[in-house]
Each structure stands twice: as C-alpha cells, then as structure tokens.
Amino acid sequence: MSDTPGAQVPGPLSHLHVLDLTVARAGPTCTRQLADMGAGVIHVASPRGGFLPGSDTHNLQRNKRSISIDLKNAAGRDVFLRLADRADVVVENFRANVKHRLGIDYATLSARNPRLVYASISGFGQDGPYASRPGVDQIAQGMGGLMSVTGPPGSGPWRAGIAVSDTAAGTFLTQGILAALIARDRTGRGQWVHTSLLESMINFMDFQATRWLVDGEVPGQAGNDHPTVFPMGTFRTADGYINIAAMLRWDAFVEALGATEIAADPRFANFESRTKHRDALMAACEARLVAKTTDEWVSILNEAGLPCGPILAVDEVFEDPQVRHLEMAQPVVHPVDGELDLVRLPLTFSETPASIRSAAPLLGADTERVLVEHGFAEAEIATLAGSGAISLGSAAFDK
C-alpha cells in the first residue's frame, strides 16, 4: 500500500517512500517539498511532541502522515529500523552527533538498506569546530553575512523578514536528494547527502559573496537600493512607494517620467556618474514620481517596458490579480481546524502535478495504519504501545 494520500493524478515522486525525522523549519521544508511532489512522507515524531505550533504545522506538515516512535527506546528504535529497511529516503536535522548516539546514522541504515538516500541538515556542518553547536536561522543570517548587507546604510545589522537560511537549506537538501536518487538509478546505491544552515546561507549570498571573493570588496548596506546598479530601488509616489528597475532602459525611464531636466543634467549622463550621484538622482526622480499614485506609475512604466511594481503587505499579495490567477493559495480541510488556505509549491508540471492533497496530520494519528502496512501484527503493535516504544497518537485507524 502506498504511503501517499490519494490524489487524482500521481505526482512526479509518487513512487518514493520517505521517513521524515525532522523538526523545526529547515528539515520540514525539505520533506514538505518532497510530499507536495507526491512522495509518501511519514513524519516520525517523538511521543513527547514534534510539530511547531499553530499555522507552522499546517504549512510544514501537509501531505504527510504522522507516526509516533520513541527512538530512545530500544524497541522503538527497532521499529524505526524496520521502516527504514523499506524506505527510499530518510531525512533528519538533529545536531550532528545525535543520530550516531541514537544508532540511526547513515552507516547503520545503509548497511541494512544499501539503496537508501540519507539526507541531513545541521546548523554548521557534520564536522568541524562548530559541528556540535545548536543552530537556528537568525544565527546563520548573522554568520553568513546577510545581516551585514541588509537594512539602511550605517543602521547596524538587520535580519531578513523571513527564515532565509531555513528555507534555503531545506530547498538545497531537496535538490540533493533528487540528485542522489538519479545517481542511485545509475549505481544501484544510495548515499549520504547533507547541507547546513551556514553553508546554504553563504551560498544564498551569491553575488555579494562573489564581490568579496573575486573583487576584494566587502559589501555594505544599501537599504532599498540595489547595491551595485542604479537607478534600481524603492521610490516615493503620491500615495506610497514603488519599486523600479530603470538601469537598463535609462532613456525610456526619463521619457516616461517626462523629466527632460534629468536627461540634460551632466551628473546623470552615464551609468558611472548616475551611480556616483545616486542621492541627487533619487531626489530628482522622486520629485517627478510624487506627482502620481503608485497605481498610475505601475501602468505608465510597464507600458514603457520598465520593470516596476507596488510594495504589498501580505494580505494584499493574495488579493493581487496575478497571484489569484496563479492560484498560489490552495484550500485544504483539516480535521480540527476546518478549511484552510496554504501556499502551494511554486512549480507547475504539465503531466505529473504537484498538489496539496491532505492537511497536516494529527500527531501520531497514522502509527497503527503505517505499522500494519509494514508487516507488523496487531498483537505486536499493542505490545509496543504498551511498552511506550510507540504511541498510537490522536486517532488509530478504523479497522
């Protein structure tokens, strides 16, 4: 029997069986992506709990089933090992040494199941001087350089408004898992693939990191302006702000503004001089832009072929006509919280669609059903539950 909740059209990963040992955000982001693409993901929770509270659970645990196993219990560990024998992928984000202490590390599982792809996220890497440290997103934002380039110039460090390193690490691990599965098709063997919040954060620094590595330049804060090209940034309008990227079509931008005086100013004659005099150019542009509303300028500038857009609050995002057309919010029904809207995976497949097939499970609700599917007898399940090795959770299935 498949581990995947029913869907009208199977997703591209519907043949895969995934055991999800992850907690918090980075690891669950990875397994949610796999689940959205159809993989049968079984979240393995401790009987003492395992989900983030509130909306985070709905966001991160959808499309999964939940079982409850005490991995510190010898019998519970044996249950997990039996499940891992049939898995394609195991994903974990413990501190680097925890999986070894529990006896569920890659070497142990791979010896039993050589085709297994074992995937790990840590704060700082699986070895090295920081390997045993706990890590969370904001620590990685600071250590990876993001907070040094975010915010207005001279304002001190600023964190990004989202958990960038968590999302980056989860997404990179998804890519690594898919690559390891492709390699398995060629070699017949799985492998261990791992990343960390710190590695992912540094990689996401992208051109800012390269400015240092290649050019020897330490990037600083640039606020809402692009750090290396101008004009590209946030400008005032009559009723708020607008983002404009005018650097590649300067003449069209000046014409759309109706600003012949800007075009004639020698300070703005070329790219280098416009960047050198960016404060004066910003003031001159805003003197024109404040004459019309953001909506008016969005229409005028897009008509002129200039990238621009409004700055929306989150509630406004989901009312935007293009976002509604893209159906970024997808409905799902939760057994306790009722109908909810969740953000879908931002990928479209023409033949094997990703989907939100089921709401987040109740913690441990699928323990009995999953164990039966994996060959456990009902008497054995009852004994395991009685010993505390497993918990039957919020709801045993109706036989």
Instruction: Please list the alpha-helical segments (H only) found in the chain.
Output: 26-36, 55-61, 74-84, 98-102, 106-112, 137-143, 146-149, 164-187, 197-204, 206-215, 250-257, 260-264, 271-276, 278-289, 294-303, 314-317, 321-326, 367-373, 378-387
Residue 120 β-bridge partners: 92, 194
**pLDDT at residue 1 in the model:** 33
Tens of pLDDT along 255-281? 999 998 998 999 999 989 998 999 999
**pLDDT at residue 394 in the model:** 58
- Please say whether the beta carbons of 340 and 334 come within 8 A: yes
**pLDDT at residue 43 in the model:** 97
Predicted model pTM: 0.94
Tens of pLDDT along 185-204? 999 999 999 999 999 999 99
For residue 268, the 8-state DSSP code is: G
Closest CA to 120 of 76, 176, 77: 176
**Residue 230: pLDDT band with limits 50, 70, 90:** confident
Tens of pLDDT along 71-93? 999 999 999 999 999 999 999 99
Return d(Cα 344, Cα 360) in angstroms, integer.
Answer: 14
166 an active-site residue? Answer: yes
Which residue ranges does the chain devote to CATH 3.40.50.10540?
Answer: 17-204+326-391
Closest CA to 14 of 255, 273, 357: 357
CATH assignment, 17-204+326-391: 3.40.50.10540
pLDDT exceeds 70 at position 327: yes
Strands 329-334 and 338-343: antiparallel
Tens of pLDDT along 364-374? 999 999 999 99
Residue 216, classified by CB atoms within 10 Å of its CB into exposed (0-12), middle (13-18) or buried (19+), is exposed
Tens of pLDDT along 236-251? 999 999 999 998 899 9
- Please say whether the beta carbons of 389 and 73 come within 8 A: yes
Return d(Cα 91, Cα 133) in angstroms, integer.
Answer: 19
In this prediction, residues 220-245 reach a mean pLDDT of 95
Q: What is the mean pLDDT of the chain?
A: 94
Residue 334, classified by CB atoms within 10 Å of its CB into exposed (0-12), middle (13-18) or buried (19+), is middle
Q: Which of 3, 20, 70, 166 is catalytic?
A: 166
Q: How far are the Cα atoms of 30, 93, 170, 187, 282 from residue 22, in angstroms, in the given order? A: 9, 5, 11, 27, 47
Give me the percent of the chain exceeding a pLDDT of 90. 89
Which residue ranges does the chain devote to CATH 3.30.1540.10?
Answer: 232-317
CATH assignment, 232-317: 3.30.1540.10
